[in-house]
Amino acid sequence: MTSEAVGVTRRHEFVLFFDVQNGNPNGDPDAGNLPRLDPETNQGLVSDVALKRKIRNYVALARPDAPGHEIYMRDGATLNAEHRRAWTAVMPEAKPEDQKKLPKEAKARELTRWMCANFWDIRAFGAVMTTGVNAGQVRGPVQLAFARSVEPVLPLEIAITRLAATTEADADAKGGRTMGRKHIVPYGLYRAHGFVSAPLASHPVKGTGFSDDDLALLFEALGQMFDHDRSAARGEMATRKLVIFRHATALGNAPAHALFDRVRTLRVHKGEAHEIGADATDNCPPARSFADYRVTVDREALPAGVEVIEQ
């Protein structure tokens, strides 16, 4: 954390709802890039890594030249080169062989603080920067859980025709046409939980300096990241709702799970809303749009010191 940066001083949790229509929200490389699934429930999954990637991409687009908003974990990055920049800034006299080990405690903290000050995603998510050129490691105050679809999904495998061949031999044998396949989820509404730790942001020694401005940018990214992440594979994806719980203190005023339980997803059919899994939903047709759901937030008897923000 730099001396200029003041980390967030209040704990936050949030619930993110996003949906996909006719796309693959997160392919599983161990399963031929099929959409990720919980095999026991058939609920769709999107990894925390995939969500963080989209957040990083948005920040890079929204703040391309802003000081302190570089992205550390980006496509094609050489991590050790970034670590050397920190060494050059903090200890320019150090030799390459000296950079394999962290220096004494004060200088080691300066190296890590330099990385936090310059890279937004290190301030947010933390990083292990011990790959050959050692710049230390830091725990990030922002963490995301896997997103899970609110109901089971049924991925489809779609056959497609490609009008061009890969090789001359393919062109002669197949008349220039080849077949391909893509995997889609016809529709799915996904829910993800996120956490922001004030102590990991604002601790005078171990804090990353993740500030209120950084937090505002995080929430902005969560709301808009899918609009700048289009691809043929992902179909139509959009953030549908963001529910934020802001605590009055650094350690928080209520357990996170109790707050998450206040956010419910109901199934809507013919104008009536029912709990997902209730008998009344047995004969409902498959959901095919966000209009088939209703997200509610119970604001009654909120714990003292907890504020709810809906976006």
Specify which residues 196 forms β-bridges with: 12, 142
Task: State the Cα angle at 197 between 188 and 222, rounded to 5°.
Answer: 35
Give the whole-angstrom CA distance, residue 266 versus residue 75: 39
pLDDT computed for residue 174 by the predictor? 63
Residue 264 lies in a domain: yes
74: left (phi over 0), alpha (psi -120 to 50) or beta: beta
Residue 286 lies in a domain: yes
Provide long-range contacts, Cβ within 8 A and 24+ apart, for 176-183.
Answer: 181/157, 182/24, 182/157, 182/158, 182/232, 182/233, 183/24, 183/27, 183/32, 183/33, 183/34, 183/35, 183/155, 183/156, 183/157, 183/158
Asked whether the whole model's pTM tops 0.85, one would answer yes
pLDDT of residue 26 exceeding 50, the answer is yes
Residue 157 lies in a domain: yes
Average pLDDT over residues 124-143: 94
What length does the chain have? Answer: 311
Residue 2 lies in a domain: no
Cα–Cα separations (whole angstroms), residue 45 to 145, 232, 247:
10, 19, 29
Give the whole-angstrom CA distance, residue 24 versus residue 7: 36
pLDDT of residue 153 exceeding 90, the answer is yes
Cα–Cα separations (whole angstroms), residue 289 to 168, 207, 275:
44, 42, 17
pLDDT of residue 31 exceeding 70, the answer is yes
Residue 4 lies in a domain: no
Mean pLDDT of the chain, nearest integer:
93
Sign of torsion over alpha carbons 217, 144, 192, 234: positive
Domain hosting 65: range is: 12-310
pLDDT computed for residue 298 by the predictor? 97
Token code pair at residue 251: 């350690």
pLDDT of residue 12 exceeding 90, the answer is yes
Residue 38 lies in a domain: yes
Q: CB 192: neighbour CB atoms within 10 A?
A: 19
Residue 1 lies in a domain: no
261-305 pLDDT, tens digit each? 999 999 999 999 999 989 988 889 999 999 999 999 999 999 999
Residue 78 lies in a domain: yes
How many folded domains does the chain comprise? 1
Cα–Cα separations (whole angstroms), residue 196 to 76, 112, 123, 216, 224:
28, 20, 12, 12, 19
218-244 pLDDT, tens digit each? 999 999 999 999 999 898 999 999 999
